[in-house]
Amino acid sequence: MTQPQALAGLVAIVTGAGNGLGRAEARSLAAAGASVILNDLPGDAVDGVAAEIRADDGTAVVSAGDIGEWSTGERLLHTAVREFGQLDILVNNAGVLRDRMIFSMSEQEWDLVLRVHLRGHFITSRLATAHWRDRSKQAGGPVYARIVNTSSEAFLLGSSGQPNYSAAKAGITALTVTTARSCARYGVRANAICPRARTAMTADLMGAAPDAGPDPLSPEFVAPLVTYLASPAAANINGEVFVVHGGVAALLSPPSIREVFRAGEHGAPDGMWTLDSVASALAGFSTGPSAAGFACEEANSLATDTIGFGA
């Protein structure tokens, strides 16, 4: 699959396209031949990305607006159909941070992050899948449809200073899997990425880029996976979650059952739970040294492939 031909004739929406990951993803999709509709808040940033794409002989249209507004999603879909006659790809990337410990977080900080991340993903996904479902019914079979959502390892780890962000990203993962299951019959393929990337939003966390050699946390190394998942080659990939950064892409397994307790084995005469049988079952159980039992820390080992890359 050569990049200039991979997405020829296809139309993509990219949210949060004015900077960082969204910019890199939009440029990559356009370089692969897609016509792209760029969304971000109105301003020079998203207009500048459109200009960059056009300067490289790509096709880009801006449809600016607050992605948490239903009307913004409607305009995005309308722009795709009006300008190009179709929509084939949706890349949800728009996000914002308001980091604070749970006991210090204001309701406004909670609401804003959930609104931009989770509601933003829902609005575009809701409108795009309805569009594809209608097209599928008209066509009498599946149509070409790709969604790539942006989750985060924060939902895996329970990032302590990001209760709003972690909750939103967990919701996005669940939304992705649900969309994949419920819309596959119409041709929709929905997947999510958990990217590590040095962007304006993560600058305080990631620090400065290395002075020499490739920056393993550059958004440009996340964009190829997004472009591939948006392509015809990814027709058999659906409902998956990838951790991606630098030269690493890790495919996550779904949650698994760690241990099973049965009331009948702990003194419950009818096999149903009572307080005494619960106390007996969990008497020897401990979460252990981890701060939280329901957290996936395996992805932490991937850091050696990015932090200190090339050393």
Is 144 considered catalytic here?
no
Question: Which of 125, 136, 151, 152 is labelled catalytic?
Answer: 152
Per-position b or e across 186-199, b if 16+ CB within 10 A of its CB: bbbbbbbbbbbbbb
The answer to whether the CB of 224 falls within 8 A of the CB of 245 is no
Residue 169 is among the residues annotated as catalytic for this protein: yes
Known catalytic residue at 137 = no
Find out whether 66 and 39 touch, Cβ atoms under 8 Å: no
Alpha-carbon torsion, ordered 117, 177, 255, 303, to 10 deg: -50
- CA Rg, the chain, in Å? 21
Catalytic member of 144, 165, 186, 228:
165
Token pair for residue 270?
């009818």
* DSSP secondary structure letter of residue 244: E
Record the tokens describing residue 49, joined without a space.
């990305």
Kindly report the length of the chain: 311
Could you say which of 151, 169, 231, 277 is catalytic?
169
Bridge partner list, 36: 12, 60
| Cβ-based neighbours of 311, under 8 Å, separated by 6 or more | none
List Cβ neighbours of 246 (8 Å cut-off, separation of 6 or more).
196, 214, 216, 217, 221, 305, 306, 309
Instruction: For tokens 């989770």, name the residue.
Output: 118
Active-site residue set? 152, 165, 169
